[in-house]
Structure 1
Amino acid sequence: MKLTKRLHSCVQLEKDGRVLVIDPGAFSEADAGLGADALLVTHEHPDHFDEGRLRAALDANPAAELWTLRSVADRMAAAYPGRVHTVGDGDAFTAAGFDVQVHGELHAVIHPDLPRITNVGYLVEGSLFHPGDALTVPGAPVETLMLPVHAPWNKISEVIDYVREVKPARAIDIHDVLLTDIARPVYDRSLDLLGGAPHSRLAAGEATEV
């Protein structure tokens, strides 16, 4: 697969001429979902789910479909009958030729006083795992871990331990738009030294084979 990093937590995957996009949210490029044959959304927070971006993608390609959890599907299904699919932990499906497994149920804890919302992660082609806003361990081998490095709900020690527990062949940063350039080397050194897996980051629009 070809992986193209978009801003924040949005990633684009290409295989056999088909395109799958995960989490084209409000912090991603305005056109992040355009050109997708399939769209996946991990949860309802606006930096992962932007209704306008999803509608633009679904309107641009009448054959495109959306797979997501109930909180998002309920807001999109009426406008796109038959094209919005509700998924949850343990489900498996094929989206635009990509085999996808669903792992996880809840968003990471932001603060004990805040109710936890639902969140799912997607293991694509048995290879690449995008956890959304959680440190879900999928219980299956992971070649490429999309690693949420900076968020109100995590700290670097948790991110390091997550890489160690998943044991991917490689980790690539996501959830990084709020991380300033001056702080990036601190995160890079910590993950390279302690994470136990090759770690890298891609600039928005940069691509690699996975």
Structure 2
Amino acid sequence: MRLTKFGHSCVRLDTGQGLIVIDPGAYSDPAALDGADALFITHEHADHCDPDGVRRLREARPDVPVYGPASLAGVLGGLSFTAVSAGDAIPVAGTEVKVFGEHHAVIHPDIPIVENLAYLVDGVYHPGDSLTVPDMPVRTLLAPVAAPWLKLSEAIDFARDIGAPAVHPIHDAVLSDIGKGLPDRLFPLLVGDSYRRIPDGETITV
């Protein structure tokens, strides 16, 4: 399977039988949706879900399925989608997307917690805005590294808990180029040489 990062938390997975896109939001490259065969959204926040982008995709290709938590209805308006929840397994693009999680990590006690799902696609794990550890092995972890709900020490411990042989940072559009150097130094030191940054637009084989 080939993985391309399209900025922030958006990735596209090419299974050889189709293109799965996860979390195309306001901070990611709209080109992620070009040719998409299925769209998975972890939660409703704008940096993970761009309703206008979903609408444009649906206008061009009405048959493309969209999956996410039931709360997406509040931001997608009349756009149809399939609500999924932890324990579901969705066959798509010649593989299966397993669903985990329930809640977004706490940003601040005064800010309501929204639904957040995590997706495991043929060993590649995208947790959205959570530190949910799945109850099955992960081959490639997409690890959030910068957010108002996250300390870098928590991100490092999350990667350690999962123990994936490959770790790639996501959720990093809020960092400057200089700022990205901090997780790029500490993760190899504290997690190991499994860590590698994927530049935006680059494709790797996973």
Common topology (TM > 0.5): yes
- Alignment of 1:122 onto 2:114: no
CA distance in 1, matches of 2:105, 2:193: 23
CA distance in 2, matches of 1:185, 1:136: 25
Which of 176, 181, 185 is the matching residue for 2:181? Answer: 185
C-alpha contact 2:41 2:49 (8 A) present in aligned 1 = yes
Shift of 1:74: 5.6
C-alpha contact 1:128 1:142 (8 A) present in aligned 2 = yes
Instruction: Specify the code of the residue in structure 2 equivalent to 1:166.
Output: I
Q: Which residue of 2 aligns with 1:165?
A: 161
- 1:150 is paired with a residue of what secondary structure? coil
C-alpha contact 1:58 1:64 (8 A) present in aligned 2 = yes
CA distance in 2, matches of 1:197, 1:188: 11
Counting matched residue pairs gives: 206
TM-score w.r.t. structure 2 length?
0.95
CA distance in 2, matches of 1:77, 1:17: 30
- 2:31 is paired with a residue of what secondary structure? coil
C-alpha contact 1:19 1:37 (8 A) present in aligned 2 = yes
Q: Which residue of 1 aligns with 2:194?
A: 198
C-alpha contact 2:17 2:93 (8 A) present in aligned 1 = no
TM-score w.r.t. structure 1 length?
0.93
C-alpha contact 2:44 2:75 (8 A) present in aligned 1 = no
Shift of 1:197: 5.6
CA distance in 2, matches of 1:76, 1:39: 13
Identity %: 46
Instruction: Specify the code of the residue in structure 1 equivalent to 2:51.
Output: E
Instruction: Specify the code of the residue in structure 2 equivalent to 1:121.
Output: A
C-alpha contact 1:9 1:48 (8 A) present in aligned 2 = yes
C-alpha contact 1:35 1:60 (8 A) present in aligned 2 = no
Report Cα offsets for 1:11-43 as digits up to 9, x if no partner: 000012410100000111133222100000000
Unaligned runs of 5+ in 2: none
Unaligned runs of 5+ in 1: none
C-alpha contact 1:163 1:197 (8 A) present in aligned 2 = no
1:9-88 correspondence to structure 2 within 5 Å: 9-73=9-73, 75-76=75-76, 78-80=78-80, 84-88=81-85
C-alpha contact 2:144 2:172 (8 A) present in aligned 1 = yes
- Alignment of 1:94 onto 2:75: no
